[in-house]
Amino acid sequence: MLIESVQNPKVKRLRALQSRKGREESGEFLLEGRKVVAEAAKAGLPITLVLVREGEEGLFALAPKAAEAHTASARVIEAVSAAKTPQGIVAAARLPEPRLPERPEGLWLALDEVMDPGNVGTLIRTADAAGAAGVLLSENTADPFSPKVVRSAAGSLFHLPILRGELAGLVAAFREAGYTAAAGDLRGEDFYAAPPFPARTLIIVGNEARGPRETVLALCDRRVKLPMAGRAESLNVAVAGGILLYGAAFGTGVRRGPGES
Amino acid sequence: MLIESVQNPKVKRLRALQSRKGREESGEFLLEGRKVVAEAAKAGLPITLVLVREGEEGLFALAPKAAEAHTASARVIEAVSAAKTPQGIVAAARLPEPRLPERPEGLWLALDEVMDPGNVGTLIRTADAAGAAGVLLSENTADPFSPKVVRSAAGSLFHLPILRGELAGLVAAFREAGYTAAAGDLRGEDFYAAPPFPARTLIIVGNEARGPRETVLALCDRRVKLPMAGRAESLNVAVAGGILLYGAAFGTGVRRGPGES
């Protein structure tokens, strides 16, 4: 069946996934473009619906286990897609529902009120690259399942558990599990003079303009500052998060001996 | 004089600065918003023309030395501005014309075919924060004086010399001046196992999809790779550049003794 009407219920269902409300109501999110659909399928996410543009039926192979798959007109694909120049495939996948692990292990990242979707996506991608085990988000951090975050996370959204909740409570739970909570904070100690970070470290970065909230900072074991050696007042939050994650995982000035973590 | 017509020659002159062609023809670039205008004035850039929205004349104080200043209607300000919700001030400044220093000193950053304006602006801001002395750009890296780069560079564009040219020639000139050229390259040696970087280091990062060109890599003393510990294939170029710059300036695993550089 070729879907040609933007009034078709399946098209309406996909369009609704552009908004957070729509995603929460249906429990699905939107996958746009070949790379994103392929990454989601490879990661084993349950894909509930796929639309492929007429003439590009070869793209069905990207999501072979999709529950439902149809061909659609170029106009329908364009109506569903948030991208300026949509590729030939859009899909819906079920929103993952990760649970807080009982005994978290390894490096984690927490975002406190990070508002820009591009920053949130880049931070999730960077956490994945640094070998982090998961990401925590405060309630009002940009929704990680919005189309722009899905795009900038470049597949990493499907590799890591992403938990959203009241952040102070989540930080407290990690500290009870033996974690060192370390926040990026312009008033903190010099990151490069700081002792190495233990294997169970939670790196916290905050809002683009204000940094982490005081209520979150108050729970942190350490506050660390990246040097501002020139005339810039601050770093972009995704860059700062990347330096902190890679520093905690691989460096910060003190080389770890073999077997240490 | 209140400027109300978008056909006014001054308005046309400012609008032309949205394009690279327009900037090259007039030798000026566009400053949008309070923060950018204030940063440019503070950095001593020659501001050639300022327009302030009717009723917000207090904003003239942000650029007290402007060669020419007028009040304009909200419609004119909107027509000039690239921002979605323009602030009450737009201006033109003369394009800086930095020269290649005869004896460059300190850390420099080079961008080879970095295409995204947001990435270029963030990298310039990060270089400034890391204390770099300047930035080199290949011919077809995104124009640093486009409105989007000006915005994402957050003032750092006015703090550092930004030199655009044939990058292989610039890298060769820096090596002749005693520089170590170190490129970010997924096939390079582990950055965290690498020896420390000398004070005269040129960090090179490349295109978002392809990295630096082979012709540039061939001139580099070192190629360094950031670990990919998870399932992400790569890092965003601005994040990778930030980790390399901060690593070269302050860390990479080997702490420098006092007095060393």
pLDDT digits 0-9 by tens, A13-54: 999 999 999 999 999 999 999 999 999 999 999 999 999 999
Task: Please provide residue B172's backbone torsions phi and psi, each rounded to the nearest 5 degrees.
Answer: -60, -40
pLDDT digits 0-9 by tens, B78-97: 999 987 788 899 999 999 99
- Predicted-complex ipTM score: 0.92
Q: Rg of chain B's alpha carbons, rounded to an integer?
A: 20
Q: Is the separation of the CB atoms in B123 and B135 below 8 Å?
A: yes
Which residues in chain A (188-217) have CB-CB distances under 8 A to chain B? 192
Q: Is the separation of the CB atoms in A243 and B243 below 8 Å?
A: yes
**A243, A252, A256, A261: best mutation site toward chain B, by most B Cβ within 10 Å?**
A243
B243–A243 C-beta distance less than 8 A? yes
Q: Is the separation of the CB atoms in B250 and A251 below 8 Å?
A: no
Residues B222, B212: Cα–Cα separation, whole Å: 13
The count of CB pairs under 8 A between chains A and B is: 141
Q: Is the dihedral of CA B56, B58, B62, B66 positive or negative?
A: positive
Residues of B in contact with A131 (CB under 8 A): 227, 229-230
Residues B192, B211: Cα–Cα separation, whole Å: 19
Q: Is the dihedral of CA A162, A165, A171, A175 positive or negative?
A: negative
Q: Report the pLDDT value the prediction gives residue A19, as an integer from 0 to 100.
A: 93
* Cα-based torsion angle of the residue sequence A110, A115, A118, A121 in order, rounded to the nearest 10 degrees: 30
Q: How far is CA B176 from the centre of its chain?
A: 24
pLDDT band with cut points at 50, 70 and 90 for residue A225: very high
Q: Which CATH superfamily is domain B108-250 in?
A: SPOUT methyltransferase, trefoil knot domain (3.40.1280.10)
Q: Report the pLDDT value the prediction gives residue B41, as an integer from 0 to 100.
A: 95
Residue intervals of chain B classified under CATH 3.30.1330.30 are 2-94
Q: What is the CATH number of domain B2-94?
A: 3.30.1330.30
Residues of A in contact with B154 (CB under 8 A): 232-234
Q: Report the pLDDT value the prediction gives residue B61, as an integer from 0 to 100.
A: 96
Q: Report the pLDDT value the prediction gives residue B1, as an integer from 0 to 100.
A: 79
- Extract the residue ranges of chain B whose pLDDT is less than 70: 252-261
* Averaged pLDDT of chain B: 93
Residue intervals of chain A classified under CATH 3.40.1280.10 are 108-250
* Residue A64 contacts B, CB cutoff 8 Å: no
B252–A251 C-beta distance less than 8 A? yes
A252–B155 C-beta distance less than 8 A? no
Residues of A in contact with B129 (CB under 8 A): 226-230, 232, 234-235
B118–A118 C-beta distance less than 8 A? yes
pLDDT digits 0-9 by tens, B189-213: 999 988 889 999 999 999 999 999 9
Q: Is the dihedral of CA B15, B18, B19, B21 positive or negative?
A: positive
Residues of B in contact with A129 (CB under 8 A): 226-230, 232, 234-235
Length of chain B: 261
B155–A232 C-beta distance less than 8 A? yes
Q: Is the separation of the CB atoms in B43 and B79 below 8 Å?
A: no
